Amino acid sequence: MTTTQFDPLGTAIALLSADVPGVITETPEDWPRWEVVLPHALAAIEQWEKQAWTPDRVTAEHCAYLMDRAGAYLEVQGQLTEARDLMERGLILTERTVDPGHPAIPARLHNLSRSVNLTGFPEKAQPLAERALALAEEAHGCNSSEVAFNLINLANILGEQGNFDEARRLLERALAIGESELGLSHPSVAILLNNLGLILEATGQFDEAQEHLERAVALSRENLGEDNPGLAVSMINLGNLLRVTGRLEEAHDLSRRATDVLERAYGPDHPELANSLVSLAEILEDLGRADDAAPLRERAARIRRQ
């Protein structure tokens, strides 16, 4: 009779990977659970990486998943370097563990490319995003919602490098897929509209940009409600455009309301709030209210230093 050796670390990793919220969003519903689980997940990952023996394949897959999801949570919390490091290790482990056609590979490539771009290296993010897109098209077909979100990611990276024409082409394709596959009123369509609106604004096509951003605000409000950070981001983007086109009072109202939403949702020290405070300060300066803008800029700088 043979006995199976008990693997406490493998069991812990399996339990943690089953327990953590898999979908990481910018809304804080799942954050309390992550706050509890994160230290244990990071400790288990560290212990697993230190061990001298190779565990079974299933444990390795669970560990790679934990790396990716913990990285996604840290990214939302503004800890971008730590997030990128975890996602990179998760991708390396995934590629060593699963078969080449496994759907985890394009998903992890997508997440890592976004993280690399957010830390200021779009030229390094681009090949990762291009590979993720190609694998997603191969796995899901060229007109799937998975492909649409890979198109957004690659377009954002190209936009960071000033390649606005190609970014627009990708985003228009993504929007067409999203509206066809998800429906005109789906909340994810607001994300597509936001991204395309920003690229149109960057190329000076303000009327078209405003049309897309206003629709994004309306969809976000309809699907998410008035106190959701997703709506706040849409409002900030529209407010920034209205500032550029000279509609300062409307821009101020949108930016002020969005800042209030973000502070209620994220607390007083989140990086996304810092971005909103800067946008609001710029509008106030354009309105001739530099004294009101100064403390907002100081507060944003303090958040960013932290």
Distance of alpha carbon 199 from alpha carbon 241, whole angstroms: 11
- Residue 260: partners with Cβ closer than 8 Å, 6 or more residues away: none
| Other CB atoms within 10 Å distance of the CB of residue 217 | 24
Q: Under a CB-based contact definition with an 8 Å cutoff, are residues 199 and 164 in contact?
A: yes
Question: Measuring CA to CA, how many Å separate 187 from each of 47, 164, 176, 292, 306?
Answer: 40, 25, 15, 35, 32
Q: For residue 53, what pLDDT is reported?
A: 57
**For the chain, the helix, strand and coil percentages under 3-state DSSP, each to the nearest 5:** 80, 0, 20
Task: Find the farthest-apart pair of alpha carbons in the chain and give their distance in angstroms, rounded.
Answer: 84
- Residue 96: partners with Cβ closer than 8 Å, 6 or more residues away: 60
- Does the CA dihedral 191-192-198-201 come out positive or negative? negative
Say if residue 76 is exposed, middle or buried (CB neighbours under 10 Å; 0-12, 13-18, 19+).
buried
Q: For residue 175, what pLDDT is reported?
A: 95
Q: For residue 148, what pLDDT is reported?
A: 94
Distance of alpha carbon 200 from alpha carbon 216, whole angstroms: 14
- Does the CA dihedral 168-175-253-297 come out positive or negative? negative
Nearest CA to 105 out of 73, 75, 77, 128 is that of 128
Distance of alpha carbon 183 from alpha carbon 180, whole angstroms: 6
Q: For residue 270, what pLDDT is reported?
A: 85
Q: For residue 306, what pLDDT is reported?
A: 77
DSSP 275-301: HHHHHHHHHHHHTT-HHHHHHHHHHHH
Nearest CA to 238 out of 251, 226, 227 is that of 251
Q: For residue 304, what pLDDT is reported?
A: 86
Torsion on CA atoms 49, 54, 56, 59, rounded to nearest 10: 0
Q: pLDDT tens, position by position, for the chain (306 residues)? A: 444 566 888 899 999 999 888 777 666 677 888 889 999 999 999 999 888 556 678 889 999 999 999 999 999 888 899 999 999 999 999 999 998 888 899 999 999 999 999 999 999 999 999 999 999 999 889 999 999 999 999 999 999 999 999 999 999 999 999 999 999 888 889 999 999 999 999 999 999 999 999 999 999 999 988 888 889 999 999 999 999 999 999 999 999 999 999 998 888 888 889 999 999 999 999 999 999 999 999 999 999 887
Q: Under a CB-based contact definition with an 8 Å cutoff, are residues 202 and 224 in contact?
A: no
Q: For residue 3, what pLDDT is reported?
A: 45
Q: For residue 1, what pLDDT is reported?
A: 42
